[in-house]
Structure 1
């Protein structure tokens, strides 16, 4: 890497290629996917554990007549 000189144009400081960007971003993408999976599984468990109105048993009414 050559030092940049004033008034001599642009110096090539770094070479950006697609492989370098992929290697740098790979851990962040993996972490993001795992975090979304954890949040999604937590949401699924919460929704499954919410009681449904049809699951509640209604009290049975007695049709017996009590005579005194």
Structure 2
């Protein structure tokens, strides 16, 4: 499910680290993550016609790095 982030930052867990997304990014999140973020008010669903405006991927941060 595509969502648009409303929060300043979301670190998406990935294999071997995290992928950092920032406010306004359109993210293809899994159903569970999307439902949790939308339910918490951290994101909104994106209509199909808006999917073309997807933001480029952000930097990958390896687990344990700060």
TM-score by length of 2: 0.19
TM-score by length of 1: 0.18
More helix by percentage: 1
